Amino acid sequence: MLRKRKNKVPPPEEGTCPLTTCMRLVGGTWTPNIIWYLRDEARRFSELKSDIEGVSAKVLTERLRRLEKDGLIVRQVVPTSPPSVEYSLTDLGHELRPAIEAIAKVGAKIKKRGLK
């Protein structure tokens, strides 16, 4: 029987792993897509619904509420007639851009290889 080797890499910090913490925020279905489409400008709900092919209105609403609660996006009511709502990234949400863009870049390479 092989001996179990000790991990020589220390945990990132005391308590909950920051990777786990971050992935709880962005690891949900459609969440990276929302961050992707908000990366450059504010978007209305209907625009996001159109941008993200396959997401239902119910799920998009749930994800937007969770991202707002988690402090990654801000919801702003625009005083137009009729009133509209725009979503945009907070400073913390903008910090996720490089990670989401890197994931998208690797995803494009994976797709190019024919993997799913």
Per-residue confidence (pLDDT) for residue 25, from 0 to 100: 87
Separation of CA 84 from chain center = 23
| Domains of the chain: residue spans and CATH | 28-110 (1.10.10.10)
pTM of the model: 0.82
Query: Which runs of E-coded beta strand occur in 14-100?
Result: 43-44, 73-78, 84-89
Per-run averaged pLDDT (10 residues), the chain, 116 residues: 84 71 88 96 96 97 96 95 94 95 93 84
